[in-house]
Structure 1
């Protein structure tokens, strides 16, 4: 079977494209989900990777689950309630655990509709840029189901409980302009400019030392469920590590000498 994720590498920037345009990049196969998990494990070990960009091939970012499989109780939607529970836990729920906890920053380039699990997938990323043609919906309730992949945790942390409740309780679709107003996306681009805008942002991020990016992202993640005093303790520990890296010394020297730094991921 053809790989679902196409991976391209340009220096420290890793571009990942979901490649099933015929299904609007629906997440319907356990093999697709395992590709996300395996890629994140690979990137965690790769100290030269600094930023990941996630987008979709074709007209959609990700259309969520396969509705025909739901109708037929087939594929990942088949089996007893107990079997379905394990299918979720061992399948699609592994994606938020892998993506959200990936140490390097992730930028979603939302090139088209991000519906249901597709919206939640975008919410697993750190920053979202959208095409003006993008659409967003937390649409599970319209199918008589609930967000099964972490959306009820992710979406309120981005746009707040009232707006997340509005999206989750109605299942209604919002456009890119509304998503920008609500803070769901950081920028809306012309469709032909989306990729270049996202790659330019990725390059700006990747120009920084990799160890600092990883530690900074970890602090942002941990800070969501820690007390201030606990986070300060963790920050002090991370900072002491950062101060003793060769890249920190290179950054300081380059700043003082007014030149471009040359980082070695050390």
Structure 2
């Protein structure tokens, strides 16, 4: 394995994060992947020059989830006594959904191959998913006598609705790329060789928007998931009042009136 389990590239306000343990299909256990992802997400979140993040895997897989071979290791989280095992989840893989959920920038999963178990859940933690024709998805935990311990059920229900999420959870079956599109698991299906170009094309549309407004819009969507309407309207009014005072808003209005392309600065 490369000594860098996660690769980060930032260009044109787009951060591209690549899970980089291809020989083992980019698992999140049995390596330093979780810590590396958390460090990378924090760096991306804190960078005002980033407006959108693409996450993908080094071919041939997106992410194999947990390393099944590690489940036989007596020193692994899978063999610890219950309280210690639960704390290992809290201190480990459960930090990933919190980090992705709390990101103020939009996130796109460019699913280049199999996304299995925690790998499937990792895609669901992103705002949007674009899939290669080689992509496969599997919520396979029950096949191994375990359940999604990484908040996968929380995200799957919200992305697909109860009935579809129940089917995938209880059957533990693999979903091919075309069915994933039909189910609404992915926004778009593209040829494998076009995946990253298409992901960057979609990301570029977002990156061209006013940077602060993009982040506030993401926060507003996050609020909409958990607030009732009166509280949400108060939140929207407060955010909107702030946006009216930004230089980028004034530039957008001026550019519209003057029929020219706006120049956004993030102020």
Q: TM-score range by the shorter chain?
A: over 0.9
Provide, for residues 194-223 of structure 1, a one-character-per-residue CA deviation record: whole Å limited to 9, x for no partner.
111110000011000111111111111111
Provide, for residues 144-177 of structure 1, a one-character-per-residue CA deviation record: whole Å limited to 9, x for no partner.
0000000110001011111100100010011111
TM-score (norm 1): 0.97
Q: Which residue matches 1:5?
A: 6
State the shift of 1:43 in Å.
2.3
CA distance in 2, matches of 1:58, 1:104: 25
Question: Residues 40-59 of structure 1 correspond to what in structure 2 (within 5 A)?
Answer: 40-59=41-60
Aligned length: 266
CA distance in 1, matches of 2:30, 2:127: 25
CA distance in 2, matches of 1:169, 1:249: 52
TM-score (norm 2): 0.97
Within the alignment, does 1:39 sit opposite 2:28 as a pair?
A: no
CA contact (8 A) 1:30 1:92 kept: no
- 156-165 vs 251-260, which moves further: 251-260
CA contact (8 A) 1:30 1:76 kept: no
Q: Which residue matches 2:196?
A: 195
CA distance in 2, matches of 1:5, 1:252: 40
State the shift of 1:30 in Å.
6.7
Within the alignment, does 1:115 sit opposite 2:116 as a pair?
A: yes
CA contact (8 A) 1:28 1:76 kept: no
Q: Which residue matches 2:125?
A: 124
State the shift of 1:78 in Å.
3.8
Q: Which residue matches 1:137?
A: 138
Partner SS for 1:184: coil
CA distance in 2, matches of 1:16, 1:43: 9
Question: Residues 101-112 of structure 1 correspond to what in structure 2 (within 5 A)?
Answer: 101-112=102-113
Within the alignment, does 1:217 sit opposite 2:218 as a pair?
A: yes
State the superposition RMSD in angstroms. 1.2
Partner SS for 1:248: helix
Partner SS for 1:53: strand
Provide, for residues 114-166 of structure 1, a one-character-per-residue CA deviation record: whole Å limited to 9, x for no partner.
00000100001000000011100100000000000001100010111111001
CA distance in 1, matches of 2:54, 2:79: 32
State the shift of 1:71 in Å.
2.3
State the shift of 1:243 in Å.
0.8
Gaps of 5+ in 2: none
Partner SS for 1:102: coil
CA distance in 2, matches of 1:31, 1:231: 39
Within the alignment, does 1:17 sit opposite 2:18 as a pair?
A: yes
CA distance in 2, matches of 1:116, 1:203: 30
Partner SS for 1:109: strand
Partner SS for 2:32: helix
Within the alignment, does 1:168 sit opposite 2:173 as a pair?
A: no
CA distance in 2, matches of 1:123, 1:2: 27
Q: Which residue matches 1:182?
A: 183
Gaps of 5+ in 1: none
Partner SS for 1:188: strand
